[in-house]
Structure 1
């Protein structure tokens, strides 16, 4: 697991950090070729979310989210976005490529591992496909998360 992924996992909600570490390690063990998975996004502040929401609306670029600040599971530390890193340096969002030539697309291998641990995949959404996105089932309703009390570090209390 690379340093960037470790740093991003450390910012997730404490209740999922160890699990995400296991998931990433298992994904990387399954990917026996050039690719490894990296967490490209984890916890996101409300203001960071608002910046993304503005993209394609009040700021240049294409729309990348339908969620305003507070309306994303990322804002509570229960969602991650991933990317495949080839040879330790090049990002790939090719979700169909089988870099380790085992007959299964590398991304599909990761999707199955996340699912085994109880995470849903944004590629299964019907209205807005978000292929890099995973969120913890049971903690994937921002309205419920928004209403919960928080600890001194601003993490929601379970």
Structure 2
């Protein structure tokens, strides 16, 4: 009887290991697909479109200014304000941003005259509320995390979709 129990435990461990291996392979495949297609994750595309539609219903024109970003472009942005001219706009090097995995978007508001603005006080629909914060409210309702809530570095145009995988996990895959 003891011999059979040992085999049962061994088979159970092999089965669990196999499941973990398959899960890990699936996560690697998702990450690779995101990088290969250089595009936004389908869920981010869906939520981005819903964000634009809901804002339009409030007479706010949201413009997506950035989506997927290559690691090379991310490194160039990171160099800004450091080894390159300009202001620091990010603390994430290539591979450290959700943009690099198609899981983040940046936005601006289109003013009534057609110009883009990042003015968080602008009230183009004249309802007494900041259009920017109305968009943020919609984005959070859709499940986005807003970079304006970050303590370490405020990134007000940034919205990211958390799929339950950390940047470190995305980098490893």
Q: TM-score normalized by structure 1?
A: 0.80
Q: For residue 45 of structure 1, what is the aligned residue in structure 2?
A: 70
Aligned residue among 90, 95, 100 for 2:115: 90
Q: For residue 81 of structure 2, what is the aligned residue in structure 1?
A: 56
Equivalent pairs counted in the alignment come to 136
Offset at residue 140 of structure 1 (A): 6.8
Aligned residue among 132, 147, 162 for 1:107: 132
**Distance change >3 Å, CA 77–CA 57, structure 1 → 2:** same
**Which blocks of at least 5 consecutive residues in structure 2 are unaligned?**
1-37
Q: For residue 68 of structure 1, what is the aligned residue in structure 2?
A: 93
**Which blocks of at least 5 consecutive residues in structure 1 are unaligned?**
1-9, 149-158
**Distance change >3 Å, CA 119–CA 140, structure 1 → 2:** farther
> Distance between the aligned counterparts of 2:97 and 2:129, measured in 1?
30
Q: Residue 104 of structure 2 contacts residue 159 of structure 2 at CA under 8 Å; is this kept in 1?
A: yes
> Distance between the aligned counterparts of 1:91 and 1:15, measured in 2?
26
Q: Residue 139 of structure 1 contacts residue 145 of structure 1 at CA under 8 Å; is this kept in 2?
A: no
Matches within 5 A, 1:113-124: 113-124=138-149
Q: TM-score normalized by structure 2?
A: 0.73
Q: Residue 78 of structure 1 contacts residue 140 of structure 1 at CA under 8 Å; is this kept in 2?
A: no
The ranges of structure 1 where at least 4 consecutive aligned residues each deviate by more than 4 angstroms after the TM superposition are none
Q: Residue 73 of structure 1 contacts residue 140 of structure 1 at CA under 8 Å; is this kept in 2?
A: no
Superposition RMSD in Å: 1.7
Deviates more, 1:57-66 or 1:82-91: 82-91
- Tell me which protein shows more helix as a share of its residues: 2
